[in-house]
Structure formats: C-alpha cells, structure tokens
A and B are shown apart, each in its own frame.
Chain A
Amino acid sequence: MSRARLVLGVFVAFMLAAPLLLPEFHVTLLNYIGLYSIVALGLVLLTGVGGLTSFGQAAFVGMGAYTTAYLSTAFGVSPWLTLIAGLALTFAVSVFLGFITLRLSGHYLPLGTIAWGISLFYLFSNIEFLGGYTGISSLPEINLFGLALDTGRKFDYLIWALALLALLSVDNLLDSRSGRAIRALKGGGLMAESFGVDTARMKIVIFVHAALLASLSGWLYAHLLRFVNPTPFSINAGIEYLFMAVVGGAASVWGAVVGAGILTVLKQWLQDLLPRLLGQSGNFEMIVFGVLLVLLLQRAREGIMPLVLRFFPAPKKQLQAAAPELPRRTQPAAGETLLELTRVRKAFGGLVAVNDLSFSLSSGEILGLIGPNGAGKSTVFNLVTGVLPLTGGEVRFRGERIDILSARAIVPHGLARTFQHVHLLPTMSVLENVAIGAHLRGSKGVISAALRLERAEEAMLLAEAARQLERVGLGDSMHEQAGSLALGQQRILEIARALCADPVLLLLDEPAAGLRYQEKRALAELLRKLRSEGMSVLLVEHDMDFVMKLVDRLVVMDFGEKLAEGLPQEIQANAVVLEAYLGGVK
C-alpha cells in the first residue's frame, strides 16, 4: 500500500470516529472545516490549477443556502429536491457570468465576481421574502434513509462524506484527458488551442464546477444551522474562501482541506486573542489574514501543500501495454499536393510583413522555409497555423481552405505544430505533456473523468503518447518532469506531442535554434526517419547548415517576399540569395 493511501485510510478512520469521541465544540469546528473545504476545493481547481479566480464564491454559497431555505420553508419542498434546484440555479447563473467574463482578459472575472458578490449580498439583505437582514429560520432537517440528521455530530458524517466525494472526483478529473486540458490553461493556453482544446469552454467548465461546489456547501450549511441570514455570504467571506485555497495551494486537491483547516482554526484563535490584546471588539483577525496572505504570496506562492507532498512522491503512471491502438487517419499518397499558399499577404498596420507569397508542399517531402531574421518566416508560420488572420490570399490544405479557420479548427485537418520557444507544462510529466497532443483523438468529457468512466480511452491515449515517445527516442524519460529536460530534448518532446495528433503534415518552427551540435544531428536524424515513414514536414529554419543537409526543397524569403525556390544545390548557387544573406554592405 502506498504512503498516500495509508494516510487517506487514517484520515477516513479519524473522520468516522471523530464525531463520536470529540467534544461538541471540536465537532462544530470540523463541520465548518468540511463546509469550507468544499468551497475551497472549487477555488483550488479554478485559481490554483486554472489560473482564474473568483472573490464571489460566498455568493454562490448563499444561492445554495437561500434556495433551500426559501423553498423548504415556504413550500415545504424536500431538501433533496431543493439541493437540485439550488444547483440548477447556480449552474445557470455561473454559465451566464462565465460566458460574459471569461472571454475578456483574466482580471475581469475576479472584478466581476467582486461586483456580483456585493450586489447579491445586498439583494439577500433587502428582498422581503428572503427575510431581509434577519434571514429565514426553522429550516427542516435532512433525512437520510429515514434517519434525521438533527445534531451536529450526525450531520458531520454527511458533510465529510460529500467533501470526500468532491475531493476524489476533482482528483480524478485532473488525472484525465480533460484534466490535462485544464492544467494547460495556466501558461499553456496557446499550445492547448493548437492541439484542439477549446480553452474558453474549459474555463467556463471549471468556473461552473467551482460554483456548484460552493452551492452544495451552502445547502449543507443551511441545513446544519437550520437558519440563514446574509452575513456569511458577504464579499469578506468570499475573500476568506480564496485565502483558504491560496494557503493550501494547488499542488493537490487536499490543499483545500489543509487551507480550510488552518484558516478556520486560526480565525477562531485570533477572534479570541486580538480583541483582548487591543482592548476593543471587532474583526481584527482580518489584519493578520491580510498580512499573512501578502507574505505567503511573496515567499511561498505555491502554498503549503508542496511542503507536505515532499513526503508523498507521486506514483508513476501505470501504462497498459495491452491497450488497443487509437484509430489512425489514412495518410495521403506520396506526391499529392498537401499545402498550397496562394498570394498570401499579411500587413501589420502599414508594415507589410508577408507580401503575396505563394508556394506549395507535396506529401512525403521536407520543405524548408528559410530567410534572414525578420524576413517574415515566423509570420508565415503563424498564418498557416491559424494563429494570425490573413490580410489577403488563401491557404489550402488537401484542397480545403484553412486560412478562414482558427488555430483550434485547423488541427483536425491533420496539421500539427511545434513552437520556436518551447511551450510545455514544466511540472507535468513528459508522458502527460505528450498526451495533450492526442486531445482530439479522445472524446470523453469532464463528468466521465470525475466518475472514472473513461479509463479505457485514457489507457489508449497514454499508450499512444508512450508509443510516440519511443518513436522519437525519449522513451526513457517519460516519467520525468518536462521542465527537467535539456532544451534539445524539450524540442523533441514537442515533436512527439505533434505526432500524437496523428498529423499528415508536421510544422516545425525553428527546431534547431539554440541546440548543440550533437542535438542538431539527433534532430536531423529523427526528421529523416520520420520522412522515411511517410511524414511530410514544413521546416521554418534559420540555420543554413542544418537545413541544407536535410530538406528536399527550399523556399527563401526576404522582406516578406519569395526570393527563390528550388533544390538546396540551386539555392546555394543563387546570386540573389547570397546577396540577401550577406547583407547590403559590400
């Protein structure tokens, strides 16, 4: 049994025994920690993993609490039905808010949630049928299989059972196809998009997920106290939830429990201590919280969990050798025209970066696109991959126009790319980084991931990633962290990731830049091997030596225009090219 499982076992045993053994006050604290953990868990997913944030989680807690309070007291609806009603309402509101804020840059979501948190607080406080500032009392107790949960001790089991389920489901989610996409949101958005991940949708998914967890916590809270008023759902409570997630950190879902535990106990202690010290009453703990949070963000931005996790090394991913292969697309016949650029033009303001460029690439060849720095090669690359829109002309791939498609929509046509500045997720394993390339070859979503109903597909995706790593010669490093590889290996990792998408054409952006001599030779060797296996490659490169020995044909650019096109020998003898490379100074 692994150490992590042992700790989990001890934790569950403690939670089973605690309500029977601990004094009332400690059980109450445990209840609150459980409730807060559920909310903080949503923020670990949203802020820690996804890089987004919300200060308005308390408002979602309030929605869950007020929905059940109103429906169960005014109409006598069963709490189990009001739970569904509360979640449905939260779902609708969070989808709406997510939709309008997540398309904007990152800071609009938190600002929007502050405004929305304040607005909802005043709404709760002023709506008559919600009891105004006095709130709603005498909520019914929850009945579980005929057993009334009428004391804190009994209720504790429900809270922690749900908290554990929530923790495990988020943990499952993160370890899946969708989870890899979610983990790519922070720092890998462009990369994820270019392998077909709908990052905007993934952002809404985690925002809604976090909101639903908050709403669930609110429902539990309302029936634990059997009373609600607006105070616990104010913006300050929303800020405290975020603190919990930051204190725990995003390294593990258990950060939510650790953060909630520390802040709850600390607050209790400070609320006792500070007013006595200062000789007046008030919420002085907020000074300490504020200062602590600033120090934490300055000194240990990852929170406390990384320190804890040092004692629990992550287990290696289990690969199923028997996993069936993913279906592959039919590759085109050799010699078929794959990529065709016709009078492609790109202007930035008045500056024409690419001027009526035309060339084509056939199946089975390696075509090099070269030119001096600033010639417009990278712009061409971004036009072909859909990162930039064209000003004029068209790009066709196997006869279909792709210049009107977004980066994400181009991938399914069979183009896969690498990046000039490597884009990988440094703390994720090499294997998982590569598996992102196969995103579009799987289809299972968030819910099946949370419930572990996608294991067969997941095994196939990981097996494919492992196969491509073997293919490029990185098989031995698959369990290492991607950030620990040397630059040359990181470039090769990017090629493996692109191969995982089962492409017809590989697009490589300056793959040799910054590589050492041996690394360049290994890279050239790999590209030759891929060509012999029928792969087509468009290579944008600056390093003449590297290109000349490798490619079948060359297109030379300067000042956004095509200077020459032909076989390597022809290009080397071309006077115009020589002039461009040697510069205008004679």
Chain B
Amino acid sequence: MSALLEVRGLSVAYGKVEAVHQAALRLEQGRIVTVIGPNGAGKTTLLAALMGMLPARGSIAYAGQEILRLEPEQRVSRGLCLVPERRELFAAMTVEDNLVLGAFHRYRKRDKTIAGDFEQVYRLFPRLQERRRQLAGTLSGGERQMLALGRALMSRPRLLMLDEPSLGLAPLIVRDIFRVIAGLRETGVSILLVEQNAHAALQVADYGYVLETGEIVIEGPSASLASNPRVIESYLGLVSSDAG
C-alpha cells in the first residue's frame, strides 16, 4: 500500500531550542496512526509543522507530493485538516457559521455537495443541530469538541489530524468522541491522532509512535506498543513506576 503521508527527518525549532528532532513517520491511506508521549515532548509542535503553522526542515510527502513549503491554506485545500488542542473555534459566531467556514475552501471551488455534508455532520452530532443558531462560545466543553470535529469534517479531509481530542472532557464524552473517530475510518478518512490518553489512543489506532523530548523513540503496531514494557511503565500504568 502506498503511504498517504511520509515524513522524513523533520525538525522544528523555536529559536535555538529544537522541539522536534529528525522525526520520521508514515501513515497509510485509511489507517489511524497515533503519536503518544509526555507533556512537552513536541507532539503539538509536530502536528503544527505538518499543518504548516510552524516552519520546519526535512521532508513531508503527502499523496506523493512534497508539501513542506506550502502554506496551511494550500494544505487545507489538498485535504489536510488539523483539529488543534485548543479547538480554535470562532466563539462569537454561530455553530452553523463555524461549520460553513469549515468548508471555506470548497465554497471557493464552488463545490455543490456542501449541503449534504451539513446533514452528515448533524447526523453525527445531533447536539450541534439543536444548537446551530447558538454562538460557539456558549457551548460546553464536549460540544465544542464536537463542533471542532464537525468543522473539520466540513472541509472533507483526506488526512485528519487530531490533537488531544479527549483533553478536559468527561469520560462519557471521551468515549463518544473515540467512537466517532473509529467510525470515521470506515468513511475512508486517514487519521493522525496525538493523545496523552495512551490507553484510548492505542485501542483505536492501527499503529503508534512514542515521542519523547522531540524524538521518536519507539514505534510499532498498536498491539505491540501496548505490551511494550517501557510504554507500559511510562504511559499505561502508575503501578509499575515505583520499580524505577
């Protein structure tokens, strides 16, 4: 199978401090790949660089083409989409306008199929339809995450990048969100998932990478990562850490 995303030797620096160092990762069409790691390891920086929000060195091949020097807007238009940790919704606009803007690049291309996608998003998140005239800023934490996901889906992404989708959400909602993520794979969307909740991430993903202080230290199929003693010690359990 050919890779949808192939990252090689990617480095990102803030001034003199290098936050991501020589990262390499690969994501095949229709798969879910997760990147786990501790706070400050550079996960968010990695996603921001893939989206073009931060300048980076190295190579990012997407659908066979080098996109390292493209602006974020151009990457959106090619089917990349990032749901950031802070969601970055348009708080003073309605839920519906947020969704409309999710499809901005498609309106520019005069895409006629946008209306159908509204229905699909509303079917996925009925809460959003109930609140479509409400301002995004008045939503609860869980609804905000739904709106962020919905806005992303309106762009019809081929590669969806999710940064900590479970952050700050109650367990029930986390379960919902992960169910939606798992369901998206069925529709052919490829997903790059960054999570601290390593348990949930490894359950839903096909393949995983562990990022520590900006470097990828372990990688492998989710099942093998979940049984890797080092991963268990650092990310999956508290109990064993008194051994260290």
Indicate if A touches B (C-beta under 8 A). yes
A-B contact count (CB 8 A): 89
CB of A486 within 8 A of CB of B174, answer: no
Cβ of B170 under 8 Å from chain A = yes
Give the residue among A487, A571, A581, A583 with the most B Cβ atoms within 10 A.
A583
Distance, CA A585 to CA B197, complexed state (A)? 9
Q: Are A542 and B39 in contact, CB atoms less than 8 angstroms apart?
A: yes
Report A572-586 residues with CB < 8 Å from chain B CB: 572-573, 577-578, 581-585
A372-B196, A483-B15, A577-B238 given as contacts; is B40 within 8 A of A514 (CB)?
Answer: yes
Q: Do the beta carbons of A583 and B174 come within 8 Å of each other?
A: yes
Picked from B16, B19, B140, B237, the residue with its CB within 8 Å of the CB of A514 is B19
Count, chain A residues at interface, CB 8 A: 38
Smallest CB separation, B96 vs chain A (Å): 21
Identify B200's interface contact among A350, A375, A549, A583, CB under 8 A: A583
Enumerate A464-513 residues with CB–CB distance to B below 8 Å: 483-484, 486-487, 490, 510, 512-513
- Size of interface on B: residues with Cβ below 8 Å to A: 36
B116 interfacial by beta-carbon distance below 8 Å: no
Q: Give the distance to chain A from B231, nearest Cβ to Cβ, in Å.
A: 13
- Is B88 positioned at the interface, with any CB of A under 8 Å from its CB? no
Contact A516 B213, CB 8 Å, known A426-B15, A559-B170: yes
CB nearest neighbor in A for B203: A585
Structural contact, A374 and B17, CB atoms closer than 8 A: no
CA distance A548 to B170 in the complex (A): 26
Residue of B nearest to A543 (CB): B38
Question: Roughly how many angstroms separate A571 CA and B241 CA in the complex, as a whole number?
Answer: 12
Q: B167 at the A/B interface (Cβ < 8 Å)?
A: yes
Rounded to whole angstroms, the CA-CA distance of A450 and B174 in the bound complex is 60
A569 sits at the interface (CB 8 A): yes
B184 contacts which chain A residues (CB < 8 A)?
none
Q: A543 CA to B19 CA in the complex, in Å?
A: 17
From residue A17, how far is it (CB to closest CB) to chain B in Å?
46
Complex CA–CA separation, A486 to B21 (angstroms): 14
Q: Describe A's contact surface by its main secondary structure.
A: loop
B125 close to A (CB within 8 Å): no
A581→B40 CA distance, assembly (Å)? 17
Residues of A within 8 A of B178 (CB): 585
Are A569 and B200 interface neighbours, CB within 8 A?
no
Q: Which residues of A contact B199 (CB under 8 A)?
A: 582-583, 585
Contact A515 B166 (CB under 8 A): no
Enumerate chain A residues within 8 angstroms of B200, measured Cβ to Cβ: 583-585
Query: Is A514's CB under 8 angstroms from B42's CB?
Result: yes
Select one of A351, A483, A516, A543 contacting B141, CB under 8 A. A351
Determine how close the nearest CB of chain A comes to the CB of B166; give it in whole angstroms.
7
Task: Check A545–B244 contact: CB distance below 8 A.
Answer: yes
Q: Give a binary string over A260-290; 1 marks a CB under 8 Å from any B CB, 0 the rest.
A: 0000000000000000000000000000000
Distance, CA A543 to CA B15, complexed state (A): 25
- Given contacts A483-B15, A544-B238, A545-B244, A510 and B39 within 8 Å (CB-CB): yes
Question: Is A373 interfacial (CB 8 A cutoff)?
Answer: yes
A484–B39 contact, CB under 8 A? Answer: no
Contacts of B234 in A (CB 8 A): 545
Instruction: Give bound CA distance, A486 to B214, whole Å.
Output: 14
Question: Which residue from A486, A514, A572, A583 sits with its C-beta under 8 Å from B241?
Answer: A572
- Chain B residues with CB under 8 Å of A490's CB are 17
**B contact residues around A577 at 8 Å (CB):** 238
Instruction: Tell me the minimal C-beta distance from A350 to chain B in angstroms.
Output: 8
A374 with B167: in contact, given A514-B41, A514-B42, A585-B203 (CB under 8 Å)? yes
Instruction: Return the chain B residue nearest A559 by Cβ.
Output: B170
Are A513 and B238 in contact (CB-based, < 8 A)? no
Which residues does chain B contribute within 8 Å of A543, judged by CB atoms? 38-39
How far is A107 from B107 in the complex, measured between Cα atoms in Å?
A: 36
Using Cβ atoms and an 8 Å threshold, which residues of chain A touch B170? 559, 584
Q: Given A514-B40, A516-B213, decide whether A572 and B167 contact each other with a Cβ distance below 8 A.
A: no
Closest Cβ–Cβ distance, residue A570 to chain B (whole Å): 11
On whether the beta carbons of A572 and B242 are closer than 8 Å, the reply is: yes
Task: Given A373-B167, A582-B199, A585-B178, check contact A572 B239 (CB 8 Å).
Answer: yes
Closest to A581 in B: B238
Q: In the complex, A431 Cα to B5 Cα: how many Å?
A: 46
Q: Provide the bound-state CA to CA distance between A486 and B19, in Å.
A: 11
Q: Which residue of chain B has the shortest Cβ distance to A520 in the bound complex?
A: B213
Give the chain A neighbours of B123 by CB distance below 8 A. Answer: none
For the complex, what is the distance from the CA of A351 to the CA of B168, rounded to whole Å? 11
Closest beta carbon of chain B to A372's beta carbon, Å: 7
Which residues in A have their C-beta under 8 angstroms from that of B236?
Answer: 582
In the complex the two chains form, is A544's CB within 8 Å of B175's CB?
A: no
CB distance from B234 to the nearest CB of A (A): 7
CB<8 Å pairs between A and B, sample of 22: A350-B140, A373-B167, A373-B168, A483-B16, A484-B16, A513-B39, A514-B40, A514-B41, A514-B42, A515-B40, A542-B38, A542-B40, A543-B38, A549-B244, A559-B168, A569-B242, A571-B238, A572-B241, A582-B236, A583-B200, A584-B174, A585-B197
Known contacts A373-B196, A542-B39; 15 further A-B pairs (Cβ under 8 A): A351-B141, A372-B196, A483-B15, A513-B38, A543-B38, A545-B241, A559-B168, A569-B242, A572-B242, A573-B239, A578-B237, A582-B197, A582-B236, A585-B200, A585-B203
Interface residues of A (CB under 8 A from B): 350-351, 372-375, 426, 483-484, 486-487, 490, 510, 512-517, 542-545, 548-549, 559, 568-569, 571-573, 577-578, 581-585
- For the complex of A and B, list the 9 residue pairs with the smallest distance between their C-beta atoms, beginning with the closest: A584-B171, A374-B168, A513-B40, A514-B40, A585-B200, A583-B197, A542-B39, A374-B167, A516-B213
